[in-house]
Amino acid sequence: MFFYYLRLSALSYRRNPILSSLMVLAIAIGVGAYMVIFTLNYVMGGNPIPQKSAQLFHVQIDSGNPNTQDDPPTQLTYLDATALTQDGSAFRQTATSKFGEILEPIDDEVRPFSVVGRGTSADFFPMFNVPFLHGTPWDESADRNLQQVIVITKELNERLYGGDDSTGKTLRLGGYNFQIAGVLDDWAPVPKFYDVNNNAFEGGEEVFIPWNLITSLAFSRYGNTNCWKAPEEGIDGFLNSECVWIQYWVELRDSNEEADYLQFLNNYAAQQKEFGRLPREMNNALFDVEEWLSEQEVLPDETKILSALAAMLLAVCLLNTIGLLLSKFLGKSGEIGVRQALGAHKGSLFLQHIIEAGFIGLLGGLLGLVVAAAGLEGIKIILGEDLMRTDWIQLNPTVVAITLLLAVFATIAAGFYPIWRACNINPAIHLKTQ
Amino acid sequence: MLDMTKIRKVFRTDMVETCALDEFSLTVDQGEFVTITGPSGCGKTTFLNIAGLLETHTSGQYLLDGVDVSQLRDYARAKLRNQKIGFIFQSFNLMPDLNLFDNIDVPLRYRGMKSAERKERVDKALDSVGLFARRKHVPAQLSGGQQQRVAIARALVGEPLFLLADEPTGNLDSNTAKGVMALLEEINANGTTIIMVTHDQSLAEQSKRNIHILDGRISNESTRELEEAATAA
């Protein structure tokens, strides 16, 4: 009977095309608007590395100002990051921060241009499942020996080498020669969980170099630097200061490793206290990726307000749909009466009209996808490429499936009262008057 | 087959209570052709609706093919309606979006019959009313008489125990009405019981048995045999 009822739904649509189209439009607008906001929330609040997010931990050492009650710093000092790196007791670990420099292509035809880069360590790439198109990451000896090696993105490789395998070639960055160790494949986690400072949705870095080179080559540091105590003069003064500017991540494979590493952090902090550092109460912590994104409130408050507004718009559209369905189904009282006379029981009539409501909902959902796609394009224009990366703002299979399911089930829910009313008519009255 | 005893039907609103049928008792046997007559508002249609299980009665007993329908729930009443009763309405009540085949197919679908058997039955029903060639047409493409023939085919396709016809010729011109009546008589001659409500006294006189209702009660009952005997005397 399902396909029979589906055919009846199509015929019913054809009989009242204007009324039916109004319902489809109302559902499309409500669901489409809701899905625009849902998509933003879904992607912005999603898990950027679900395969191992529970094994990756952001390291927090509270090196903050003892005279204030503010939250612990989200980054580490150079002193702490260096100490943790030298200990190396985690399965993998990486100290990482952003920089910017001028890149001078060897090819004379390409003019120098500025790039945003990331100083990090060899572990960064396997820790975060970073895919390579050509070559490999540098190895740990390059970190230790400050080798001038570099990994570049696929886009930069396209720009500089037309997409050819550029490993082994030399790039000039910030006035220094770097040998290309590898070229990344497409990789752009959203949100950019490993560095949520400033904007977790901005574009990723174009080049990656061993982290210590940022300081040894005096590259321009980008990102946040917070100091609760003024650093002494010179680069050494800065490096030995309580200024925080380094993100530090470790990979811990199970809860034992996690407990051990936290104990190690506490021991380290206790030792530092003996040296007169870390004056606040001990407050070391490990946050896995999802905890970290939540802790940092990566999802802006505005999205919650927009979600509420979109839900209200959806509710208004569904209320309209209830009215339209009521009008449509009560208009079918004659047919319902005839079907009852011919042997339909209320359950079968209810099912028939549930399927009809679902059919309208499905059409509304399909049109809603168009509305949502248009809405997302509008969001891209509003946000603009300058403010943040927007290529992730698009419908994906999950969102498409949710849109259609939401439209179908919301319309069926909206249809319950009209269907109940229509199926409880007195057939005798309508058979005589039809 | 149809056995009503002291059926009472009361319609209540906030202000008014109307007794549409009062102490109404009637038995109809297999193969009869019964006409129901009476002035407007006398309870003819109410009787037909109760007989067709489209409405419940307030009190009394109604046995349909031996089954007391008083306590039946919606599902069981619908099943009985589908299997034992065929309806013919004054305004045909065909579904405008469905072609003739699909219109006639409706009761069989509710019976859960397989597609091949449905097709065979619908084709036969269409053939019996002379409209097989137009099975793909929609009702709007037919004349009133043809539409009523389709409605009769739909009522017959499930091979019901009896047909309930509510003014089946009321919307037809006299020639077409005669044709429809001839078809109904033929159906009755083949063994199907027919109970027909009509305003047309001449049609009532043609039937073997006529029940006249007045104020919700049977005021007069006559059979053709009795009338012929009275005339002869």
Q: Find chain A residues with C-beta within 8 A of B107's C-beta.
A: 342-343
On average, the pLDDT of chain B sits at 88
Inter-chain residue contact B74 with A346, CB threshold 8 Å: yes
Cβ separation A340–B83 shorter than 8 A: no
pLDDT above 80: residue B230: no
Region of poorest pLDDT, from A107-111, A239-243, A333-337: A107-111
- Residue-level length of chain A: 434
Distance between CA atoms of residues B38 and B41, nearest Å? 8
Contact between A241 and A229 under an 8 Å Cβ cutoff? The reply is: yes
Answer whether residue A202 shows pLDDT above 70: yes
* Confidence at B229, pLDDT banded by 50, 70, 90: low
Confidence of residue B226 (pLDDT cuts 50, 70, 90): low
pLDDT at B233: 53
Q: How many CB atoms lie within 10 A of CB A174?
A: 20
Q: What distance in Å separates residue A19's CA from the closest CA in chain B?
A: 17
The shortest C-alpha distance from A9 to chain B (Å) reads 11
Number of A/B CB contacts below 8 angstroms equals 72
Mean pLDDT across the stretch A380-399?
A: 70
Whether A434 sits inside 8 A of B93 (CB atoms) is: yes
Q: Which residues of B touch A1 (CB under 8 A)?
A: 109
Q: In A15-155, at which residue ranges do the beta strands (DSSP E only) sit? A: 56-60, 76-77, 92-104, 113-120, 132-135, 149-152
- From the list A11, A15, A347, the residue facing B75 with the nearest CB is A347
Among residues A432, A16, A179, which one has the least CA distance to residue B92?
Answer: A432
User: By C-alpha distance, which of A432, B50, B67 is closest to B25?
Assistant: B50
Q: Which residue of B has its CA nearest to A340?
A: B78
Give dist(CA A339, CA A349) in Å, integer.
8
A420 touches chain B (CB under 8 A): no
The pLDDT, as a whole number, for residue B12 is 87
Q: Which residue has the tokens 């292509």?
A: A105
Percent of chain B, pLDDT > 70?
A: 95
Closest listed residue to residue A224, CA positions, set A257, A252, A195, A249? A195
Q: Is A342 on the interface with B (CB under 8 A)?
A: yes
Tokens of B121: 């039955």
* Closest-CA residue of chain A to B49: A428
Contacts of A85 (CB under 8 A, 6+ apart): A93, A95, A121
Whether the CB of A424 is below 8 Å from some CB of chain B: the reply is no
Q: What is the mean pLDDT of residues A26-52?
A: 86
pLDDT band for position A69 (50/70/90)? confident
Across the range A223-250, mean pLDDT stands at 91
| pLDDT bracket for residue B174 (50, 70, 90) | confident
CB contact under 8 A, B82 and A434: no
Q: Which of A335, A338, A344 sits opposite B78 (nearest CB)?
A: A344
Q: Is A60 on the interface with B (CB under 8 A)?
A: no
Give the residue from chain B lying closest to A349, CA to CA. Answer: B110
- B45-74 residue pLDDT tens: 899 999 999 999 999 999 998 899 988 998
Examine the pLDDT at A93 and tell me if it is beyond 60. yes
Instruction: Tell me whether residues A11 and B98 touch, CB distance under 8 A.
Output: yes
Does residue B227 have a pLDDT over 60? no
Quick one: which of B36, B12, B88, B28 has its CA closest to B220? B36
Give residue A61's pLDDT.
93
Question: Residues of A with CB below 8 A from B79's CB?
Answer: 343, 345
CA torsion A72→A75→A78→A84, rounded to 10°? 90
Is B81 in contact with A341 (Cβ distance < 8 A)?
Answer: yes
Phi-psi region of B149 (alpha: psi -120 to 50; beta: other; left: phi over 0): alpha
Taking the C-alpha atoms of residue B55 and residue B189, their distance in angstroms, rounded to an integer, is: 29
Residue B90, pLDDT > 90, answer no
> Does the distance separating the beta carbons of A343 and B54 come in below 8 Å?
no
The answer to which of A201-205, B54-58, B189-193 has the lowest mean pLDDT is A201-205
| Complex ipTM value | 0.90
Spatial separation of the C-alpha atoms in residues A393 and A373, rounded to whole Å: 9
Peptide bond into A191 cis (omega under 30): yes
Using a CB-CB cut-off of 8 Å, the residues of chain A touching B75 are 345-347
- Position A264 scores a pLDDT of 94
pLDDT beyond 90 at A177: yes
User: Which range among A75-89, A250-264, A377-391, B137-151 shows the weakest confidence by mean pLDDT?
Assistant: A377-391
Whole-number pLDDT of residue A173: 93
At residue A229 the predicted structure's pLDDT band, cuts being 50, 70 and 90, is confident
Q: How confident is the model at residue A201 (pLDDT cuts 50, 70, 90)?
A: confident
Mean pLDDT of A104-125: 87
Work out the widest C-alpha separation in chain B, in whole angstroms.
Answer: 57
From the list B45, B82, B83, which residue is nearest A432 (CB)? B45
Q: Is the pLDDT of residue A382 over 60?
A: yes
